[in-house]
A = this chain, B = another copy of it.
Amino acid sequence: MVDKMDLTESLEDYLEIILKLQNENRVARSKDIAENMGIQRGSVTSMLKNLSEKELINYEPYGYITLTDQGKKVALEITRRHAILKDFLARVVQIDPDKANMMACRMEHNIDRESIDKLVRFVEFIDRCPRTGQDWIDSFVRFCASDPKDWQTCMNCLESCEIRHNLNKQD
């Protein structure tokens, strides 16, 4: 009921998935939740009761499931964190998209407001600062692609960057 409820990771996952299903199909159904989480149907029911007691979902036995306003608020917050983390891990750090997604799944429950805000600013800074931006990320991709034993590609990039850098110092 209060804003600062402390939900378990699992309960937050349920809310996230219910939001997704609700957006896709207007309502969520027990079976789809089970499928999305890769668990048995029976396990879902007790969690639904739990979420219902916390007034995070509207739930009647054998009925459809929707988020309450409060539940939607929490679900949106988790979903936002997930998207930010995944974008950062996959697009910036260049971690494999599926792995980035899995990591985001875990991290989204363990990052506080202040830290996620810092991360948002970090990504924003990389994207907007003229010293970095997409072409800098592209350089990083090349840096990663280069065989560790063959540093030539990387060295070429570093050199051309250094030339630029020195030019800047001279002006």
Q: DSSP majority for the A interface?
A: helix
Q: A residues touching B (Cβ–Cβ < 8 Å)?
A: 89, 92-96, 99-100, 102-103, 106-107, 110-112, 114-115, 118-119, 121-122, 125, 128-132, 136, 139-140, 143-144, 157-158, 161-162, 164-165, 167-168, 171
Query: Contacting A161 at CB < 8 Å: which of B96, B129, B139, B157?
Result: B129
Tell me the bound Cα distance from A157 to B125 in angstroms.
11
- Give, as a whole number of angstroms, the nearest-CB distance from A135 to chain B: 9
What are the residues of chain B within 8 A of A95 when measuring CB–CB?
114-115, 118-119
Question: Can you report 6 A-B residue pairs in the complex whose CB atoms are below 8 A from each other?
Answer: A95-B119, A102-B110, A125-B143, A129-B161, A130-B158, A131-B161
- Of all chain B residues, which has the CB nearest A169? B164
